Structure formats: C-alpha cells, structure tokens
Chain A
Amino acid sequence: MIAEAGLAALWLAAAMALLQTFAGFGGLGDRLAQLTASLRGFAVAQGLLSLTAFAMLLWLFARTDLSVGLVALNSHIDKPMLYKIAGAWGNHEGSMLLWVTVLSLTGGLIALLERKLDARSFAATLGAQGVIALGFYAFLLFSSNPFARLSPPAPTGQGLNPLLQDPGLAFHPPTLYIGYVGLSVAFSFAVGAMLTGKAGPAFARAMRPWVLISWIFLTLGITAGSYWAYYELGWGGWWFWDPVENASLMPWLAATALLHSVSVLAARDALRAWTIMLALTAFAMSMIGTFLVRSGILTSVHAFAVDPERGTFILVLLALYIGGALVLFGTRIGSVRQGAPFHLFSREGGLVANNILLSAILAIVLIGTLYPLIAEGLFGEQLSVGPPYFDKTTVPVALVLMLFLAAGPLLRWRRDGSGSLPRKLVLPAGASVVALILLLVLAPGTGILPLLGLVFAAGLAVASIVPLWGRKLLRTPLPIWGMVLAHLGVAVAVVGMASESGFTQERLAAVRYGEELEVGGWKVQLLGLDPVAGPNWTAIEARVLAKKGDGRWILHPQSRSYSSPVMQTNEAALLSRWNGQLYATLGAQDEQGRWQLRLWWKPFVSLIWLGGVLIALGGALALIGRVWRGFRARFPKTQQEGFA
C-alpha cells in the first residue's frame, strides 16, 4: 500500500501544481486579492504532498520492498541502512522525485515567507514555479514512475553501484539538487519580473537569498564531488572535466556571476537586464547539465541512467522553459527601465568585469563539453575533449579573473575618483612579489601556470582581507565577512590547485614485501597483505609503511570486490599531513608475485577542498547576515554595502 499511497500523493501534488499555475498567472489579471490567498495554499499543499511521496519512497527503500521495481533494481537486502536509504536517490526516478520535492518545498516556503515582492510579481513567480514543477511531475508520472510494482517480486535485489556506495556520494546528489532547485527559484523570480516589468532592487532582494542558498549548496556539492572522485576513483586526480562534472560547474559559474550582479541590482539598481539574463542562464545550465547527464548523448566516465527517451523528455521541457523565457526576454526586457548609470572605474565596473570573465569561462566550458557533438556534426569526426583543452583555455581567464577579484572589492560604488586603489593594492602586490621570489629561489623550474597561480593567489589572499582594514571588526556586517571569507577561499583553493599540479610526485612500481620505495621525501614499504571483509564486500588490504624523519605511519589501501553487482574497486589510502597528502593505491599482482603499488605525494592538495568549504562558508555568513537584517528591517542604510 505504501507505493500506492506515494503514487497518489504524487498525482495530488501535480494537481496542486496545476492549480498553482492557474492561480499564479490569473493573479496577473484583476481578481488578484482572492487568488493570492489560495495561491499560498496550493503551493504549501504541493510541497507537503510531494514530501509525502518522497517519504513513501524512502520508507520503501528502508524496508527493501522488493515488489517495487525501483527498489529491486537499486537495492539489496544485505545493504547497510545508510545505503539502502541513499539508494532512494541513487537512481534516475528517485533523484527526479527528490528534485521535484525540493522544488515544491521551496515553493511552499516562498508562499509562507516571501513578503518583499509586490502582489503581482509574487503571483507570477509562484505561477512560473508551478509550470516548472508540472513538467517534472509529468515526467515522473508518465515516463519514470518511481512506484511501479514488479511482478513477481525480486528475491534479493540488484544492489547499488559500489562506486556510489560511499557516504560522500550518498549526500552528494541532494546537495547539488538543492543548488539546482534554488536556481529554478531564481528563474521563476526572473520570469515574474519580466511579466510584471518590475525588475528593481525589491526583486533583487527577494531573489538574492535563493541565489545564495543554491550557490552555497552548489559550491559544497562540487567540492564534495571533487574530493569523492579524488579518493574513490583511485587515479589521484581531483578534476577531470568530465561532462558530468561540467554539468555542475556550469550552473555554478552562472550562479557566481548572478550572485554578484544581483547585489549590484539590490544595492545600486543597475544591471537589470543582465541580472535577469544570468538568472535564466543559470537555470538553463542546470537543466542542460541534467539533460546531458541523463540522455547519454555524451560519453562520460560517470555513465549514469543513459536513456534517450528520457533525454527527449528533458529536452522538450528544456526547450519549453528556457526557450519560452528567452522569448519573454526578447519581447519584454525592452520595457524594463534601465537602472542607475555608473562609471566604468567603480565597484559596479569591477563587478561587470567579473561577470564577463565568469561568462567567458562558462562559454569555454560549454563549448568544450558540446564540442564532441559539434565536431561530429560539422566535420564528421569523433573525438573527445579532455583536460588539456580545458586547462589551457580556462586557466588564463581564471588568472585574469583573480586580478579583478583582488581589486574589485577595493573600489567604491558608482565612481571611484579617489585614486586610492594603487595605495590599497600595495600590500597585495608586495605579497605577490615575495611569493614570486620565494618560488624562483626554492622551486626553480616550476611550470608557468602553477607559478602564476601561486603568485596571484598570494596577492589575492592579502587583497581579500584588505576590505576589513580600518573597520571595527565586531561591527562589520556579516555579508562583508562573507565576501572576505569567500574571496580568501578562492585564494586558498588556487594555492592547492597550483601546488598540486606543479609539485606532485608520482611513483608506480611492482614491489615485493619489504622492498623500499621513495616518493616526495617519503620512504614507503609494503609490509604485507590481509584479507578483510565489510558488510557487503571483501577486499585484500595492504599494510603500507610510510616513513619520514622520525614519523611512521601505516596506510591501508584496499582492492575491493563487491558481490552484488560484481565489481572491483580500488580504495585509496590517504595520509594527510599539514603540507600535503600521501596517496597510495594497491593494484594487481603480477606473474612474479610482485604487487603493483601506486604512490603520489601531493603537496597542499587538501587546500583545494578547504578553499571550497571556505567559499561556501562565506556564502553562509552572507546569507545569515541578510536574513538577520531581514528581521531587523530598520537597519541604517549606510551599512548596505557588502555583496551577496
């Protein structure tokens, strides 16, 4: 009965979405007052009903009800409970249900909380949200029913892809989805603003928290995904420029640009059309990403739910939503009065530059991701675009972006005629010079890009703290702290990336017990091998001794075998020190009885993810600051100068 209850809740939620759509767009007409009250009701009911459906699915997975096809395909009676539950969204149908659940819950929250918008914009926004949700309900109910029964029931179930059987990955998709859904809210706000022609500061302030939330979650999701790929796939890389990775990076780039332009709009009433365009782009990118991942149109190492029919469905939704919004943009944006003018040399000007550079990186990544298709279509060539293209094209633009990132926050709004910028940049420039000299002396022969990355990062790290200079720290608004922390996080992450790419040392060897290897100043020995067993896998686990100075550590890389489905995975062993990580994986045994051992010494690699966490934390501080200010609405206006 649970599956049927879930399905019923899903149908009812779809009905609510339909009502919400009519009430929302009806609200553009005259009978506004009666409709607004019921509109809030529909949105809240839709949220609760979809939550019910999702809860039913979780319940089915928790008790491993093998009479439901989805459970039988993606779970197994012997699985640990965490992964039984994660199995609910570790597949196509479940993840789409999670998507629409988060979407409709957000709709409910907007209905309950939103007070900044005028009534017509509010109605149009919820109407747009209703349309988006409707498409996904149709998708679930007509082509991807998560509650479909299986007859006869399966005896044990097939299990979850072992690569996905990892705490990191259990939480990875929900994190990213909150990000994507937040962008759909921004999209709805933008559609609402275009319909009513009101795209001013009030609209920006209403949209900003949603952009912030989705940006925080996207940042965390990408960071976690990168760390997962790093330790789980066993190839020691942290970013592969895989289509699936790009699918989450592209919305992040758009959201980052949007986050900055929405702040300009909120504070200075400038960049109206541009902000709306970015809101549309950000959501378009998350849908294109979803589409690329689901349709199997591009080959990816993450091969996941490849099904052209479902791809078509998402493509149709994509064309309707994004195409429709862009038509609206073309016809209506002219009537959106342009905002306040500003001088090019100003905080706004810096932010415009930031937006352009971020958009350029986005374009580069999008072209690179789609290029295999373009090449096949135009030139009949089959090829893949890999890290060499992306590294060569994105890194230089990113370096220029870092310069603007350092200088932008030090500029004044509207017009910076004070000429104080050079003075403010003395310290950061000094840090860069010191870093350059140190690197040239201590690490001659460092590649040009890693070298520039480290030098710029040193400058950016200092520059990002400069805005705090001369302030009373305790009275500094949280959004400013957030900006400082996020920019500092970028510098930290870049240090990690540059030193990983510039200074990593690698060793691949076939060794016997006791044989000693050296990598990056470490002495490493294979002591022995032990069989170990987990809840649903068995493994050969190596005891690897790593020595440096007086320190001795034992690492345990594993070669794991899963039985359902049958699969081999390599569990890397990581030894984290303050200045880097020693990374070991165990390979196969050769004919002479030697074991293959792969070792990397990666200096400061952890800073990549620490930086990501700092960036997200900065976003969280800004969000808390904004929400807090919302509660104390009569705050002096002079303090509204931070971003985000």
Chain B
Amino acid sequence: MSRRWVLWFPLVLFGLIVMLVLWGMNRDRDDFVRSRLIGQPVPEFSLPPAVEGKPGLASNDLDDGKPQLVNFFGSWCIPCRAEAPQLAALAAAGVPITGIALRDDPENVRKFLDQYGDPFTRIGADRDGRLQVVFGASGVPETYLVAPDGTILLQHIGDIRAEDVPELLRAWKDAS
C-alpha cells in the first residue's frame, strides 16, 4: 500500500485551510486600509469653496511641500461629529488638514463648523460625490494622508478615534 499517504492528503489540505482562516480571524485588522490609490499621485481635481471665507481645494494645493491630511466629511454625517475632536487635536499638533464636504450645502457646512470646530485650512465642495468615487472612498468620514509630492500614503476608513491619533501623527511625521 504505497499509495496510502494519498488518503491523508485531503485532511492535510483541510488542515491548511483551517489554519489559514484561523490566522485570518485573529490577525490584527487595522483601519488603515490600503486602497488601490496608495502610492499613486492624487487624481487631478478642482473643487469650488464649500463655505464663504475659506478657499476651495484643487489637486495642486496638495503638493505644496508638506504632508497633509485630506478629510472627507459631511454635515449630515453623525460619525463626522464624533471625529471632530480628533481632527482638532491633529490640527493643534500642527498637521495641516484640508476638507472635502460631500453632498452638502454651504449653510449646513457653516453650521457644522460653528458647532464642531473648524480644523480645516481649505474646504472643497464635492456636491455630487464625484471626487469621492475618484478617490475610491467608500463612505464618510474618510481620511487620506498625502505626501509632499502629492502621493497618497494611507487611507483611513471610518471616523478617527482617539486611539488612532498617535498613529496618524507618527505617519505624518514620518512623511515630513
């Protein structure tokens, strides 16, 4: 019975699959999801200002020699409110943050900024969500770290929690 070992082959294969999914379930899944755009330059775009008194945002504003965060938000988005203190903390630490207001009107954006603070240096208005699609963003809030040369370094999906702040800050410093 030289072929007896063949009979155990299915079990070995099955064991491998079980080990694989066991590992898959217990791996650390971070929210710093790498999108297809990681390592790619920011797509060309130009957005009008979302509120009066603050400039809009275009792709060439992002390659001005400093790494910065680009934050997709909306005044209608509840997690964005929860995220506001963390953005404020990052801004206070010296990180430049630009915003993109999704499917929003100026009045609501203004109210949102008045109530939850305004960490943004510029805010562009993405009225029909087209730029969101171009960026490959899956929802709001979502934040990108863009290198000085306009390359996207990382994508953070979902709201930034307090525990994410140090990591984002480190990533920003590494890029500087």
Which A residues have a C-beta under 8 Å from some C-beta of B? 273, 277, 280-281, 284, 288, 291-292, 295, 297, 308, 311-312, 315, 318-319, 322-323, 326-327, 329-330, 333-334, 370, 373-374, 376-377, 382, 588, 590-591
Q: How far is the CA of A292 from the CA of B25 in the complex (A)?
A: 11
Q: Are A318 and B20 in contact (CB under 8 A)?
A: no
Looking at the complex, which of B1-9, B67-75, B113-121, B141-149 is the stretch in contact with chain A? B1-9
Contact check, A370 vs B7: say whether CB atoms are below 8 A apart.
no
**With the chains together, A277 CA to B23 CA distance in Å?**
26
Q: CA A588 – CA B27 in complex, angstroms?
A: 40
Task: Establish whether residues B21 and A277, one from each chain, have CB atoms under 8 Å apart when the complex forms.
Answer: no
- Decide if the interface of chain B is mainly helix, strand, loop or mixed: helix
Partner of B14, one of A284, A295, A370: A284
Q: What's the minimum C-beta distance from A638 to chain B, rounded to whole angstroms?
A: 36
Max chain B Cβ within 10 angstroms of own Cβ: one of A284, A333, A373: A373
Cβ-defined contact, B20 with A373, below 8 A = yes
Contact with A along B28-42 (1 / 0, CB 8 A): 000001100000000
Residues of A within 8 A of B33 (CB): 382
- Determine the chain A residues whose CB is within 8 A of the CB of B166 once the complex forms: none
- Interface status of B15 (Cβ within 8 A of chain A): yes
Q: A280 contacts which chain B residues (CB < 8 A)? A: 10
Query: Bound state CA distance, A477 and B8, in angstroms?
Result: 40
Contact A326 B128 (CB under 8 A): no
Residues A311 and B25 in contact in the complex (CB < 8 Å), given A288-B17, A591-B127: yes
The reply to whether B11 and A291 form a contact with Cβ atoms under 8 Å apart is no
A382 CA to B7 CA, complexed, in Å: 34
In the complex where A308-B25, A315-B25, A376-B27 touch, is A334 in contact with B1 (Cβ < 8 A)? yes
Q: Give Cα A588 to B127, complex, Å.
A: 12
Query: CA A297 – CA B23 in complex, angstroms?
Result: 10
Contacts of B17 in A (CB 8 A): 288, 370
B53 located at the interface, meaning its Cβ lies under 8 Å from any Cβ of chain A in the complex: no
In the complex formed, the residue of A with least CB distance to B20 is: A373
Task: Determine whether the beta carbon of B21 is less than 8 Å from that of A297.
Answer: yes
**Do B10 and A277 touch (CB < 8 A)?**
yes
Residues on A with C-beta less than 8 A from B20 are: 370, 373-374, 377
Bound-complex Cα distance A382 to B21 (A): 15
Question: Assuming A382-B33, A382-B34, A591-B127, is B25 touching A323 (CB within 8 A)?
Answer: no
User: Which chain B residues border A370 with CB–CB below 8 Å?
Assistant: 17, 20-21
CB distance from A322 to the nearest CB of B (A): 6
CB atoms of B15 and A323 under 8 A apart = yes
Is the beta-carbon distance between A330 and B8 smaller than 8 angstroms?
yes
B25 touches which one: A312, A329, A330 (CB < 8 A)?
A312
Subset of 14 A-B contacts with CB under 8 Å = A291-B21, A295-B25, A297-B24, A311-B25, A312-B25, A315-B18, A319-B18, A323-B11, A326-B10, A329-B10, A376-B24, A377-B20, A377-B24, A382-B33
Q: Is the CB of A323 within 8 A of B10?
A: no
B22 within 8 A of A: yes
B-side contacts of A326, CB under 8 Å: 10-11, 14
- Least Cβ–Cβ distance between A251 and chain B, in angstroms: 15
B11, B17, B21, B128, most chain A CB atoms within 10 A: B21
Contact of B128 among A281, A374, A591 (CB under 8 A): A591
In Å, the complex CA distance between A323 and B12 comes to: 9
- Chain B residues near A330 (CB, 8 Å)? 7-8, 11
Closest to B8 in A: A330
With CB as the reference atom, state the residue of chain B lying closest to A299. Answer: B33
Q: How far is the CA of A291 from the CA of B22 in the complex (A)?
A: 11
Taking CB atoms, residues of chain A closer than 8 Å to B128 are 588, 590-591
Which of chain B's residues 82-134 have a Cβ closer than 8 Å to chain A? 127-128
Best-buried of A291, A318, A330, A590 by chain B (most CB within 10 Å) = A330
**How far is it, in angstroms, between the C-alpha of A486 and the C-alpha of B17 when the chains are bound?**
33
Nearest-neighbour CB distance to chain B for A207, whole angstroms, equals 19
Chain A residues within 8 Å of B25, by CB: 295, 297, 308, 311-312, 315
With CB as the reference atom, state the residue of chain B lying closest to A298. Answer: B24
Contacts of B11 in A (CB 8 A): 323, 326-327, 329-330
CB A376 to nearest CB in B, in angstroms, measures 7
- Chain B residues near A311 (CB, 8 Å)? 25
List chain A residues, Cβ under 8 A from B14. 284, 322-323, 326
B27 and A295 contact, CB distance less than 8 A: no
**Chain A residue at minimal CB-CB distance from B22:** A315
Q: How far is the CA of A410 from the CA of B171 in the complex (A)?
A: 66
> In the complex, what residue of chain A is closest to B34 when comparing beta carbons?
A382
Chain A residues, CB < 8 A from B21: 291-292, 295, 297, 315, 370, 373
In the assembly, what is the distance between CA of A370 and CA of B127, in Å? Answer: 38
Residues of B within 8 A of A292 (CB): 21
Contacts of A334 in B (CB 8 A): 1, 4, 7
Q: How far in angstroms is the closest Cβ of chain A from B147? A: 20
A312 to B21, CA, bound (A): 10
Contacts of A323 in B (CB 8 A): 11, 14-15, 18
A14 to B14, CA, bound (A): 28
Q: Which residues of B contact A297 (CB under 8 A)?
A: 21, 24-25
Question: For the complex, what is the distance from the CA of A333 to the CA of B24, rounded to whole Å?
Answer: 32
Closest A residue by C-beta to B130: A590
- Alpha-carbon separation in the docked complex, A288 to B18 (Å): 9
**A288 proximity list for chain B (CB < 8 A):** 17
Residue of B nearest to A284 (CB): B14
- In the bound complex, residues from chain A placing their C-beta under 8 Å from that of B23 are 373, 377
Given the known interface contacts A295-B25, A591-B127, the answer about A318 and B8 at a Cβ–Cβ threshold of 8 Å is no
Q: For A376, list chain B residues within 8 Å (CB).
A: 24, 27
Q: Which residue of B lies closest to A291 (CB)?
A: B21
Minimum distance in angstroms from A289 CB to a CB of chain B? 12
Contact, CB under 8 Å: B24 / A373: yes
B133, chain A: closest CB distance, angstroms: 12
A281 to B18: give the CA distance in the assembly, Å. Answer: 14
B12 to chain A: closest residue by CB: A326
